Chains A and B, each alone.
Chain A
């Protein structure tokens, strides 16, 4: 027994930095997707179960755009940076577009008729099945790998662990998008309207906030972040019609872990989940990392049922 732990802690000690870097990279991706869940929950008190397919749409859109632009060339240097920007923007645009369509087709008609919460759930599952089967039919039920966008060599080392270009790209893109979002929500008029609707929609409308438009904005922002995250995810994992399922489930977990409705909670939950998953590889086989992730969720919720930061709807800080 003691042997078991010493040997595994040895693995953890030796592999700690590379595992941490990998964990943070998936954490950023979870965080970006988790924000889509948390924003929509904030204004509508519903979980957008079609978010996984919004993610998938971003993956396919950026894949097709990148493939068309690259052709058979070998990008390097500035070209690589522009391609990453293009991937983020095209994935984000597709994610935003599909998210807004889902809101318009699957949710708004129900809202008009004041449907019960269960109807939204069914509608969301329907939208989700429709979208991934549509993608499977149109694009084929197999994995597409991205062409090479950049050379994935180690950029620098921390404590002897080489940090590869991919991790740097994900971290930079993630940090830029998350900080921008945080500032927009805290300081801009648009962000204030989202927070006002989350805290008290009817009073927000008395202040002049157009609730319908604000709801569209939250779907748009969440969809854009999710679609952009799908591009970052697809660089290593490829693109397939079912690609949304697992990352979106993890991101939903991250949102609950941090405190649903709470933007900073979603980021914290995402990073924590990514790191825990990654470090768990030192103790269990790779195929058990999902078990580790959900064990953490259950443990956190046992002690803090509203998540780490709590359910602070529409709070700026």
Chain B
């Protein structure tokens, strides 16, 4: 579904990604692990056109999207839930959801009903300003907003960040349901244990490079992963 080949991203004179390659197949949850500053968020930003790679290529469903602009990605079927949720604070929940469908044609009312079924709390809050929601509600809104674009690939950046464990649990359960309903998920997550339990495969990033990748089951028992990302004594 998605193939990234030798992608290099630079910020000015700093190289953030040193030629990374990976792939995501339809129906998978693939997770990207790594310490802060390893380049996980940059990778996601590259995948939605916010930072075009200076070398290498990105191919999505057979189309070269390497130089596609950010605002064209939702139309292609890739939606991005950004780090920190980035809800429009002075728009209502309903308007935020409408924004999610901005890049595509077709009706939105039934999609919105579906979101309210998945996230009942958003229905209760639908006339409230996005900025007045709690962190967990905002995360649900951010995910629902991205799903309004009917993506085939959903990019999630740290969806459990700053959330109480119980809320994070709910978010992970919903991510599983999203995959089960047919949307492929590419997940960046600090909580490596939970991410690996949910994912089919994973990649590990260090200093702007992908150092290895494997099935999630293998990564969970990999000594390097356990030592560095699962915080266990080996």
Please name the residue on chain B nearest to A202 by beta carbon: B50
- Is B71 close to A, CB under 8 A? yes
* Known contacts A202-B50, A203-B86, A208-B149, A196 near B99 by CB under 8 Å: yes
B213 at the A interface (CB under 8 A): no
**With contact pairs A196-B99, A203-B86 given, residues A208 and B91 touching in the complex (Cβ less than 8 Å):** no
Identify which of B89, B99, B145 contacts A192 (C-beta below 8 A). Answer: B99
- What is the CA–CA distance of A189 and B102 in the complex, to the nearest angstrom? 8
Of residues 44 through 103 on chain B, the ones whose CB sits less than 8 Å from some CB of chain A are 48-50, 69-75, 79-80, 82, 86, 88-91, 95, 98-100, 102-103
With A193-B102, A196-B99 as known contacts, state yes or no: A206 contacts B73, CB within 8 Å.
yes
Q: Which residue of B lies closest to A210 (CB)?
A: B71
A193-B102 Cα distance, complex, nearest whole Å? 8
A209-B82 in contact (CB<8A): no
Q: A208-B104, A315-B90 are in contact. Are A192 and B74 (CB under 8 A)?
A: no
Q: Determine whether the beta carbon of A204 is less than 8 Å from that of B99.
A: yes
Q: Is the CB of A206 within 8 A of B88?
A: no
A195 beta carbon closer than 8 Å to chain B: yes
- A192–B102 CB distance below 8 A: yes
Least distance between B146 CB and chain A CB atoms (Å): 8
Q: Is the CB of B82 within 8 A of A205?
A: no
Per the bound structure, the CA–CA distance linking A205 and B82 in Å amounts to 12
| Interface residue count on the A side (C-beta < 8 Å) | 22
Total A-B contacts with CB atoms under 8 angstroms apart:
76
- List B contacts of A2 (CB < 8 A): none
| CB-based nearest A residue for B48 | A206
Report whether over half of chain A's contact residues are helix, strand or loop; otherwise say mixed.
helix
Whether A207 and B86, one on each chain, are in contact in the complex, defined by CB atoms closer than 8 angstroms, is no
The answer to whether A313 touches B90 (Cβ under 8 A) is yes
CB–CB B104/A203 < 8 A = no
Complex alpha-carbon distance, A196 and B74, angstroms: 16
Collect the chain A residues with CB atoms within 8 Å of residue B75's CB. 208
A214 to chain B, nearest CB (A): 9
- Looking at A206, A207, A209, A210, the one whose CB has the most chain B CB atoms below 10 A away is A206
Q: Which residues of A contact B49 (CB under 8 A)?
A: 205
Contact code string A280-315 (vs B, CB < 8 Å = 1, else 0): 000000000000000000000000000000001111
Q: Is the CB of B149 within 8 A of A207?
A: yes
Q: How far is the CA of A206 from the CA of B149 in the complex (A)?
A: 10
Contacts of A314 in B (CB 8 A): 88, 90-91
Q: Which residue of A lies closest to B98 (CB)?
A: A192
Chain A, Cβ-Cβ closest to B80: A206
Q: Which of the listed residues B69, B99, B100 has the most CB atoms from chain A within 10 Å of its own CB?
A: B99
Q: Which residues of A contact B89 (CB under 8 A)?
A: 199
Known: A192-B98, A192-B102. A199 touches B74 (CB 8 A): no
Contact between A205 and B91, CB atoms less than 8 A apart: no
B71 and A211 within 8 A (CB)? yes
A59 to chain B, nearest CB (A): 35
Residues of chain A lying within 8 A (CB to CB) of residue B145: 207
Whether A207 touches B50, Cβ cut-off 8 Å, given contacts A195-B88, A195-B90, A196-B91, is no
Instruction: Establish whether residues B100 and A207, one from each chain, have CB atoms under 8 Å apart when the complex forms.
Output: yes
CB <8 Å contact, A205 and B70: yes
A208 in contact with B95 (CB, 8 Å): no
Q: How far, in Å, is A309 (CB) from chain B's closest CB?
A: 13
Q: Which residues of B contact A (CB under 8 A)?
A: 48-50, 69-75, 79-80, 82, 86, 88-91, 95, 98-100, 102-104, 145, 149
Enumerate the 7 nearest inter-chain pairs by beta-carbon distance, A residue then B residue, closest first.
A208-B103, A205-B70, A208-B74, A203-B86, A208-B102, A315-B90, A207-B102
13 new A-B contacts at CB < 8 Å, known A192-B99, A206-B50, A208-B73: A189-B102, A195-B91, A199-B91, A202-B70, A203-B88, A205-B69, A205-B71, A206-B48, A206-B73, A206-B82, A207-B100, A208-B102, A314-B91
